[in-house]
Chain A
Amino acid sequence: MKSFLIYLAALFLLMAFQAVFISGAKPDLPLVLVCFYSLGHGAVLGGAFGALAGFIADSASGFLIGPNLFSKFLAALFIYNFRRKFFVWNAVLCMLFITGITAADMAFIFFYIRMFSGIEPPSLFSLTAALQVVYNSAAALLFYRVIGAEDGFPQRAPWMSANT
C-alpha cells in the first residue's frame, strides 16, 4: 500500500511536470511509471495501477473514461508478461521493452480516437510521436537508475521494504 501511494504521488507530479513545464512534444511519463510499477508488483496490481493512472490521465484531458485507461492497463499486463520470458534483465532490455510499449500505446490511442471521435487525430508517424518514443526511452533509463531495478524478479526498488 505504501509503495502504491508513493507511485500515485509520483504519477501526479509527473503529470504536473508534463502539463505545466513541457510545451511542444511531450513524453508519456505516466506510462513509464506504470511499466515500472507492474515490473515490481506483478500483473494484477500493475494492471490496477495502470487502469487508475489511465483514468487520471483521461480525466485531466477532459474524458471520464478514455483511451489511456485501456492502454495503460494493457501496457502493465504486457510488460510484466514480457519480463517473465527473460532470464536476464538489464537497463537496455528494459529500455527496449518500454520503447516498444510506448509505440504500441500510441498506436492504441491513435486508433481509439479515430474509431470513437470520427476525426483524424495527429499522425502516428509525426515528429511529435517519434520524439515521445525517444523521450520515453530516455526516461526508462533514468527510472531504471532511480527506482533501482536489480536482476531479481520481480523488481523492487531498494528503498521499498518487503513489507509494503
Chain B
Amino acid sequence: MYKNKVVIAIFFVILIASSFAFRNIISGRVEDASIYPLIVIEESASKVSGFFRRLLFAPDSEGKLREKLGELARDRTSCVEAELENARLREALQLKSERPDYFTAAEVFARDHSNWFQTLWIDKGFNDGVKKDMIAATRSGVIGRTHKVLGDRASIVLISDVNSAVAVRLQASRAEGILEGRGGRTCYLKYIPSDVKVETGDAVISSGLDGLFPDGLLLGYVADIVSSDAGIFHVIEVKPAQELDVIEEVSLLGR
C-alpha cells in the first residue's frame, strides 16, 4: 500500500511538472497530435451513427413493400436535408456577394465535448488557406474567430466563449464597449457609460478597434440591461444575432 502511495505521489508530481514545462512548448506537430483524439471521435461518431442507420433501415425479410417504404423514407429525409442545406448555402452565397473579404465556407463537424468552452471544429485548415484569427460568420451575423488551425481542420472560438472579447459599438448611440463571452448563450457588453441611453433590441456591431474584427459587422442585439445605476458603466446582456447552438456551416472572412 505504501509503495502504491509513493507511485501515485511521483506520478502526480510528474503531471504537475509537465503541465508547467509544456505550457509554452505547444506548437506544430504537438498540436496536430493533440487534436488526434477529436478526429478519432468524429470518425467513431460517424461509424456509430452509420451502424444505427443501417440497423434502422435494414431490409426487412417480411417483404419488398416494407423495404420500399424504408427507401422512400430515406429519400424523403435526404430531400429535406438537401433542401435545408441548399437554403443555408444560398445564404452563404449571398454573404459572398455582399462581402469582398469573403474567403471560404466550411462545415461544422463537432463542438466542444464539455460545458466549459464554446468552440466549434470546422472541416477546413491551413491546407485550404485558413489562418488564425479569421472571422467566422453566417448571413445572420458574426459567430467568432478561428483559433487553432491544423492541416485540414480548425477550431472556432465563439463570441460566447469565456476566452472571447470583441471591440464593439452600439449602432444607435455609437457608444463603444467590449463584448465578452461568459460561456452561456448570451454575451455581456461592458464599458458603456451609464449616461448613454440603451434600449432593448439595439444592434451591436464591431468597431474594428481591436484589430481583429473589421468594423460594421453585426454581432447581436441588446437583450437586457443587467445593471445601469450601480456604477459608471452599464452591464448589458447581448443576444448573438446568430443562434449559436444551430450552426452547421460557417463562412470565413479574410483579414
Interface of A: prevailing SS: helix
Instruction: State whether B148 touches A62 (Cβ < 8 A).
Output: yes
- Smallest CB-CB separation from B183: which chain A residue? A122
Q: Which of B1-50 contact A (CB under 8 A)?
A: 4, 7-8, 11-12, 15-16, 18-19, 22-23, 26, 30-31, 33-38, 40-42, 44-45, 48-49
B6 CB to nearest A CB, Å: 11
Q: Spot the interface stretch: B109-117, B137-145, B192-200.
A: B109-117
Q: Count the A residues whose beta carbon is within 8 Å of the partner chain — how many? A: 44
Q: Spot the interface stretch: A12-20, A89-97, A145-153, A156-164.
A: A12-20
What 1/0 mask marks residues of chain A from 24 to 36 whose CB sits below 8 Å from any chain B CB?
1110100000000
B240 CB to nearest A CB, Å: 15
**Chain A residues with Cβ under 8 A from B45's Cβ?**
16-17, 19-21
Per a CB cutoff under 8 Å, which of A13, A57, A77, A117 touches B163?
A: A117
Q: How far is the CA of A128 from the CA of B182 in the complex (A)?
A: 12
Any B CB within 8 A of the CB of A73: yes
Any A CB within 8 A of the CB of B184: yes
Beyond A20-B110, A47-B11, list 17 extra A-B contacts (CB 8 Å): A16-B45, A16-B48, A19-B45, A19-B112, A26-B114, A47-B8, A57-B113, A60-B113, A61-B112, A61-B117, A62-B34, A62-B35, A65-B23, A69-B19, A73-B11, A73-B15, A120-B182
Instruction: State whether A59 touches B38 (Cβ < 8 A).
Output: yes
Q: How far is the CA of A15 from the CA of B110 in the complex (A)?
A: 11
Q: How far is the CA of A112 from the CA of B23 in the complex (A)?
A: 14
14 pairs, CB–CB < 8 Å, chain A vs chain B: A12-B37, A12-B44, A15-B37, A16-B45, A18-B114, A24-B245, A44-B8, A59-B36, A61-B113, A63-B34, A68-B114, A120-B182, A129-B115, A132-B115
B183 CB to nearest A CB, Å: 3
Q: How far is the CA of A73 from the CA of B162 in the complex (A)?
A: 25
Q: How far is the CA of A28 from the CA of B113 in the complex (A)?
A: 9
Instruction: State whether B15 touches A23 (Cβ < 8 A).
Output: no
Q: How far is the CA of A129 from the CA of B116 in the complex (A)?
A: 10
B92 CB to nearest A CB, Å: 21
Any B CB within 8 A of the CB of A79: no
Per a CB cutoff under 8 Å, which of A63, A69, A121 touches B162?
A: A121
Any B CB within 8 A of the CB of A134: no
Q: How far is the CA of A69 from the CA of B36 in the complex (A)?
A: 17
What 1/0 mask marks residues of chain A from 101 to 125 whose CB sits below 8 Å from any chain B CB?
0000000010001000101111000
Q: How far is the CA of A25 from the CA of B116 in the complex (A)?
A: 10
The 8 nearest A-B residue pairs measured at CB: A122-B183, A16-B45, A19-B113, A59-B34, A16-B41, A20-B45, A65-B19, A18-B113
Q: How far is the CA of A122 from the CA of B44 in the complex (A)?
A: 29
- Smallest CB-CB separation from B164: which chain A residue? A119
**Chain A residues with Cβ under 8 A from B119's Cβ?**
61-62
Q: How far is the CA of A122 from the CA of B31 in the complex (A)?
A: 25
Any B CB within 8 A of the CB of A49: no
